[in-house]
Amino acid sequence: MQEWKRLKRELVYEGSIIKYYRDTVQVPNGNVVEWDFIGHNGAAAVVPVTEDGKILMVRQYRNALDRMTLEIPAGGLNGADEPTITAAARELEEETGYCSKELSFLISLNTTVAFCNEKIDVYVARNLTASHQHLDEDEFIDVVAMDVEELTKMIYEGKLMDSKTVAAILAYRSRYC
């Protein structure tokens, strides 16, 4: 087996949710290359299922895309050691205004393997109880209840493209519908 060897990792910039590094790597043929790497503490997401089987989605503005998106509720961990189920429960309440004591693991995914180590664990939340949203000052989120089939159609029409949401909806549909 050919060997890849990281020779150096240099922190270039540290932001509020990511760390940007420049990696120097020796590749199997002996050449030395430089690659960008983004370090991320990880995140959690949740598929909130209402009593009538609809999924609560959040509509919000995403600066990176300069547009509104439709996503499942999600957010970063409060430190790399925070259990993802704790973060999923927190994000459910913060973003949708609902709580659940019944969260079950659905799927893990890496969002952008070419240059980032972000890992998201996704849970399913059932038996939702009303609470209230706890939005940050810069968050403006609308909650929308949608059918799984409608969301699946949006995926295949290219109207729903967020990777965690696509993976979560299709995994949920495969397992529960």
Is residue 115's pLDDT more than 80?
yes
Is residue 51 annotated as part of the catalytic site, yes or no?
A: no
Q: What is the DSSP letter of 79?
A: S
What would the pLDDT profile of 50-109 be if each residue is shown by its tens digit? 999 999 999 999 999 999 999 999 999 998 899 999 999 999 999 999 999 999 999 999
Predicted local distance difference test score (pLDDT) of residue 2 = 75
Domain ranges of the chain: 5-39, 41-176
3-state secondary structure of 47: strand
Q: Mean pLDDT in the chain?
A: 96
Mean pLDDT of 133-143: 89
Give the CATH fold of the 41-176 domain.
Answer: Nucleoside Triphosphate Pyrophosphohydrolase (3.90.79)
Predicted local distance difference test score (pLDDT) of residue 149 = 98
Q: Work out the pLDDT band at 1, boundaries 50, 70, 90.
A: low
CA distances from 119 to 33, 39, 78, 110 (A): 25, 10, 14, 5
- Let me know: does 132 contact 92? Beta carbons within 8 Å: no
Q: Within 13 Å and on the Cβ side, how many CA atoms surround 158?
A: 0
Longest Cα pair distance anywhere in the chain, in angstroms? 59
Which residue matches tokens 């940050």? Answer: 136
Q: Work out the pLDDT band at 136, boundaries 50, 70, 90.
A: confident
- Let me know: does 21 contact 37? Beta carbons within 8 Å: yes
Given the residues 91, 95, 102, 137, the one annotated as active site: 137
Residue 156, C-beta contacts closer than 8 angstroms, at least 6 positions apart: none
Q: What is the pTM of this model?
A: 0.94
Residue 20, C-beta contacts closer than 8 angstroms, at least 6 positions apart: 11, 12, 13, 14, 36, 37, 38, 39
Predicted local distance difference test score (pLDDT) of residue 99 = 97
